[in-house]
Each structure stands twice: as C-alpha cells, then as structure tokens.
A = this chain, B = another copy of it.
Amino acid sequence: MGPGPCNPYPEVMAAMARPMLGHLDPEFIALLDETNERLRAVFGTENRLTFPVSGTGSSGMEAAFVNVIEPGDVAVIGVNGVFGGRMCDVAARCGAEVVPVEIPWGQPVDAEQILGAHPNPKVIAVVHAETSTGAHTPLADIGAGKGDALLLADCVTSLGGIDVSLDDNGVDIAYSGTQKCLGVPPGLAPFSMSSRATEHIVDRPRSWYLDLNMIADYVTGGQARAYHHTAPISMIFGLHAGLGAVLDEGLVEAQARHQRCGRLLQDGLAKMGLELFAAEGHRLPQLTSVWVPGARLPSGMSEAQARAVLLERHGLEIGGGLGEFTGKVWRIGCMGHTARERNVALCLAAIDELLI
C-alpha cells in the first residue's frame, strides 16, 4: 500500500510469464493493437497515437515534452508537488522557457491561476493526481480555457483510479504509469496524444529513444510495421491483461472501488484522530496522505522505523513524504488490485496497533 507499485492483478502475473513472441510476430502485433485499443478505452479518447512508451512513467513525461517543445517555447507548468517540479526540470532540458505556477502542496492547481500565467504558452501542464501529496486537480476548466495551447496532463496515478476522459476534458497529451491504478508492474508509460498535438511534433526531438515520428510507425502502423526498438514484450503482455481486468470489471466499477476504498481509509484514519494532509474536497481516493502522528508513536520510534515495523510485522508497505514533507507525511496507496476493503482493514488495524 505504498504510493505504487501496487499489487498486480493475478491475470497480469500469469500473462507476464507467457512464452515469448517476437516484436514483429503478427500475433504480437495484434495483441499490441488490442492493448492500444484498451488504453483508448481507459484514457477516454479516440486518439490514434495511443500506446505504451517503453519505460516507466517518467519516460512518458519525457516523451510528452521532448516531442513538442523546441528551444524557446513557453511551457506553463502547475507545481503543487514533486511531479510538477519534475515536469519543469524535464521541460527545461528540452529548451523550454518554463513558467512555473507555484501552488501550496496538498492543494489542487487553480484553473484561473494557471490560465492567466502567460498570454500565449505552447503548453500548459498539470499533474492530474499528485502522488507526492494526494491532491486531485480537475482538468475540465483548464481544458475549456486553454485556447491555442496544448494541455498536457500527468495521469500517472489517476488512470484507472479516477475518471480521466481525455477527449471530454480537452487534454492533448497524457501519460501514465502501469504500476498504479492499472494493477500492472512498473515498466511502461501508457501515452496518448491528440491529432492537434501531433501536428506540433518536432522534426528531430532531442531524444532518439522517445522520438514519436519513428515510434508511431511501429505502434500504430498498418500491415507492415517499421522496427524502431525492440518492444518490451512481456510487460506489454502484462499491460494487456491488466487493462483486460479493469475493463472486464468495468472502468466505472473499478473507479468506484478505488473511491470506496479511499473513503474507507480516510474515514478510518480520521476516526483514529489522524490528520489528513491534502485539502478537503480535493483528496484522491487512490493516494491518501496523512500527517505523521509523531506524538503517538512509541517513545524513540521514528516515522521511518514505524513504517519498517509495518513492513516486517504485517508485510504492509506505506510510503514516506517527499521534499520538505520527508519525515512529516505518510502516503498510503489503494491502487489497482490493492484497492480492496480487506487491505484497508489490515492497514487501519496495523496502524492502530502501532499507535500509543
């Protein structure tokens, strides 16, 4: 129950162990096509350029910026946690003129504030679900007001757990990770880009590995697929199966399960007298942040030691805080196959047992 990776769905682990196929084998190409179709369903998009980038979530972030940013382009970026800060770093390395919009951690990014930060940005970027704080930034108002800008959304922790609906929200570029609410091990970055955004793809991005000009010929090509790099076959088997599990359950039902578990956990922690970190009304169900109850830990036990006790005694991982909240906040995930009432019950019982 850390902030990811979650426990993968059992059918995912079975799929990971499937016999190997070549990356140009027609059977694999068909499975990749179906994986992309399933990704469109969970992303809520018709975007043709929808596929898993061959790296973890952060490679998706890099692919998002490196393909559309040319030196001097303005990128307005909401910074309400670690991953907003990371986007600034990534965009700057692509040569962007970065306009950060600083928001207190735990709060969502305010639509009016980010839309007013620059008159004519190339990209407006926000983190939909800030894994470092547990805050949820709604996308619709930003999408409605983006004008000529491209709206870029980090959906690493949101996809599968809460509604993302890229097309309805006006999102042009989105990426995610497999190890959060999709219930798959880490290793791929589901990615989607609107046709409007693909017109802005630069001729020769700074990254060869993430160059969408070439990758698109393989991942969304027709009969003949041009080899770019060897696809991570087993991980794609796993993603295909994880998306299948989510869609078999029903995307709405899976999101409702995340909602139910998150509510149960947050209510339980509050009832124990713990104070939630993220702003009320903007709390993610899949990632709960809570102030460390320092005074109620056994004498001499640090918060890191408390987490180690949970891990050793109960096989239960919860995450520490990041940045200036290191040592001050705990982050508890209810994601993918981990988002089950039984796990919430164990977590609450284990923390309760620890407190004095």
CB-based nearest B residue for A229: B58
> A59, B209: Cβ atoms under 8 Å?
yes
Known: A207-B93, A311-B25. A16 touches B19 (CB 8 A): no
Complex CA gap A177/B22 in Å reads 15
Assess the B233–A185 pair: CB atoms within 8 A.
yes
Cross-chain contact A58 with B14 (CB below 8 angstroms): no
Q: Mark interface residues in A50-67 (1 if CB within 8 Å of B CB, else 0).
A: 000011111101100000
Q: Please judge, given known A-B contacts A4-B230, A17-B17, whether A54 and B57 are in contact too, CB under 8 Å.
A: no
Which of A5-13, A137-145, A341-349 has 4 or more CB atoms under 8 Å from chain B? A5-13
Most central of A17, A59, A177, A206 by chain B CB within 10 Å = A17
Instruction: Please indicate the chain B residues that have their CB under 8 angstroms from the CB of A8 in the complex.
Output: 20, 234
- A residues adjacent to B (C-beta < 8 A): 2, 4-8, 13-14, 16-17, 19-20, 22-25, 54-59, 61-62, 86, 89-90, 93-94, 177, 179, 185-187, 204-209, 227-235, 238, 311, 317, 319, 322
Query: 5 nearest interchain CB pairs?
Result: A187-B232, A185-B234, A58-B229, A13-B17, A55-B55
- Interface CB pairs A-B, < 8 A, 12: A16-B17, A55-B209, A56-B230, A59-B59, A59-B229, A61-B208, A179-B230, A185-B233, A186-B230, A206-B206, A234-B235, A235-B235
